Amino acid sequence: MEFKKIQAEVVKNAIKYGEKYNVAVDEDFALIKLYEEVGEFAQAVLIHRKKSRPEKYLPEEISKREVAKELADIVGMAMVNAHLLGIDLEEAVDKKWISKEWLK
């Protein structure tokens, strides 16, 4: 699937989430939610690396899946933030990471 299609689906799901739970998916929500997801990712990595309380340990394949899920949440919320801020994220990633146009 193309990046822009993925982003459109992610944004659509975020809007549905807001409607379902009566939450305004605005710039404030999206930024704070992104922070929350980064924290959950960090926690999942600590558990995966067995650097948490032993009662939180999970089998390798399950802990890796949890890390992947939280990383997907970060990417998704980055897409929602970009949408709300009017940023073409695909273009920004290209200019920052691929063509490195913004590093010149």
User: What phi and psi values does residue 49 have, to the nearest 5 degrees?
Assistant: -90, 5
| Residue 50 three-state SS | coil
Are the CB atoms for 95 and 102 separated by under 8 Å? yes
Q: Which of 22, 2, 4 is nearest to 83 (CA)?
A: 4
Q: Which two tokens stand for residue 17?
A: 């989430």
Domain around 30? 3-103
The answer to whether the pTM exceeds 0.75 is yes
How many domains does the chain divide into?
1
Rg (CA), the chain: 16
Per-residue model confidence as pLDDT tens digits over 49-97 = 999 999 999 999 999 999 999 999 999 999 999 999 999 999 999 999 9
Percent of the chain past pLDDT 70, that is, above it, reads 100
Which CATH number fits the domain that encloses residue 28? 1.10.287
